[in-house]
Structure 1
Amino acid sequence: MGNTAVTLSDVWALGNNVAGLSQLTRPEVGVYAENRFLISSLNTVGLAVASPLGRLTGEEPRYGVVGLELQRFGDKLYNEQRVGLGYAYRTGVMSVGVRADVLQVAIEGLGSRRAVAASVGAQAELIPRKLVFGAYLYNLNQAHLAEYEDERVPTVLKAGLSYRPTEKVMLNAEVEKDVDHAADFRAGVEYQALEALALRVGVLGVSEQVTGGAGFHAGRFRVDYAASWHSSLGLSQHISAGFRLEAK
């Protein structure tokens, strides 16, 4: 959906907007892999785990939801690794979340550097089950990587809306701003064609990419596939699989 995920609530909210974890009512585990532009050195793999804390109060976890994400990008010449721990809590129509990342960047022959990045997020149901607002600030502390040219981890702000005119259709719009780059506008649509099948399309403005994909849901299992096309660099592919643990 053109990477418009700041309003979504699932195990992948751990990386998209940690506040979205707050609506999980069962433990979930997910794995994912991504290849950009058919270049093996631009592969990303990851694992995400999230679990509610305490018994449910109504339909919400009593003490919020905690999550852990492990991610690796690159190859032996250059790679980035990330370990992230997040927590989210929901009260009424408002959800808030915080996350801390330990980041490592390594270049063969030059060693590695580590940094710690802190992030915050929020979601609000402006119209219950219809209109959701989400915002996420990644690396609010502007974590420092190297003295050379004062290199820092990118600080990124995302904000967007998700509108559901019917139970089968979701319309998303989002703006992302890196402090060092121009803002990017994105939009996406999801259509629930069948109970077990969702179809998705999207567009990214600045990078001139179009995206499409499908999600398959069967009981506690979920598989999602997506592809994106860049006008100059070509095809990227993404796949994820998730499993929800049910109570005894």
Structure 2
Amino acid sequence: MIRIQDHLYKISLTIILGLFSIPALAQLNMGARGLGMGQATTALPNYDWSLFSNPAMTSNESMAVGFYGLRNYGFSELTDMSAIGSLPTNFGTASLGFHRYGDNLFNETRIRLGYKNEWRMLHFGVTANYNHISFGGDYGSGGAVGLDVGIAAKLTNDLWIGARSINVNYAKYSGIDEELPRDIALGFSYNLNALALFSFDMVKDVRFPVSYRGGVEISVVDELKGRVGITTEPISYSLGFGYAGDRWDVNVAVQKHELLGFSPGIDFMLYF
């Protein structure tokens, strides 16, 4: 009976992925703060997970390490797990990230190495991204190395503008007729009197329509912040909160897909 239930569960999961293959892909952006703000992270200041969105926005204030987990639509087989570390130096900020999605039926692994520097009000960054996907059984696997670039500018003390492009070298998986995802994004953020931070992105994946993403972060009390966000293509809603200590912070968020349901996520950061 247990084996039958296990097979039925896998069949149901396969049907869901087949019907909704576009939104069931692994998340490209990491971090619960960004998830709670509708994934509008292209120009989000002081965002610890910028290596996975716009490397030009990587923080250069202190050395940091962090961990993030997201369970997509309640399925353990569709879990995103990632880790990140950043190290500011006199020559810019170096960062290293790791991300894994899926299970033994299908999984995707990413290793990212980033560099960020700035000149006056202009910030710029580049990321080398090794992707590896593997299918269960004898269905094969493949790897590819993509390059992502990003720029950002602090126009005023409260206003940021940023842009990024993913897979600028048009990398393809070896042995598999599949390209790495390619998209471009333009984003803005505005800090309203330190009480609320607004963020807005326009993202165009070459395969899909333009996605509009927006979110707001509100200071509730002391270091406690609340967040809400929305995305289109596909439509999803999100909310979350975060609390920052002297040398750490923790963020929790949940995203509601219009068809597939809820995806809860949490991250934890340490600063040195």
TM-score norm. by structure 1 comes to 0.91
**Which of residues 220, 224, 246 in structure 2 aligns to 1:197?**
224
Match of 1:50 in 2: 86
Alignment check: 8 A CA contact 1:157 1:176 kept: yes
Q: 2-side partners of 1:194 and 1:100: how far apart?
A: 39
More strand by share: 1
Superposed CA deviations along residues 93-134 of structure 1, whole A, max 9, x for unmatched, are: 11000000111000012231010010000110112x211001
Alignment check: 8 A CA contact 1:10 1:24 kept: no
Shift of 1:168: 1.6
Q: 1-side partners of 2:180 and 2:70: how far apart?
A: 21
Q: 2-side partners of 1:241 and 1:147: how far apart?
A: 37
Shift of 1:10: 3.2
Matched, 1:125 2:157: no
Shift of 1:184: 0.4
**Which of residues 92, 103, 115 in structure 1 aligns to 2:120?**
92
Q: SS at the partner of 1:85?
A: strand
What value does the CA root-mean-square deviation take over the aligned residues? 1.2
**Which of residues 156, 164, 168 in structure 2 aligns to 1:136?**
164
Q: SS at the partner of 2:173?
A: strand
Matched, 1:81 2:113: no
Alignment check: 8 A CA contact 1:215 1:222 kept: yes
Q: 2-side partners of 1:203 and 1:10: how far apart?
A: 18
More helix by share: 2
Matched, 1:241 2:268: yes
Letter in 2 for 1:117: G
Matched, 1:12 2:49: yes
Matched, 1:222 2:249: yes
Shift of 1:206: 2.0
Match of 1:39 in 2: 75
- Aligned-pair identity in percent equals 30
Alignment check: 8 A CA contact 1:186 1:205 kept: yes
Alignment check: 8 A CA contact 2:72 2:79 kept: yes
Alignment check: 8 A CA contact 2:143 2:174 kept: no
**Which of residues 203, 212, 215 in structure 2 aligns to 1:188?**
215
Q: 1-side partners of 2:252 and 2:211: how far apart?
A: 23
Letter in 2 for 1:41: E
Q: Displaced runs of 4+ in structure 1, greater than 3 A?
A: none
Q: Which runs of 5+ in 2 are unaligned?
A: 1-36
Q: 2-side partners of 1:206 and 1:108: how far apart?
A: 29
Matched, 1:112 2:149: no
Q: 2-side partners of 1:4 and 1:63: how far apart?
A: 28
Letter in 2 for 1:47: A
**Which of residues 103, 118, 121 in structure 1 aligns to 2:131?**
103
Letter in 1 for 2:43: T
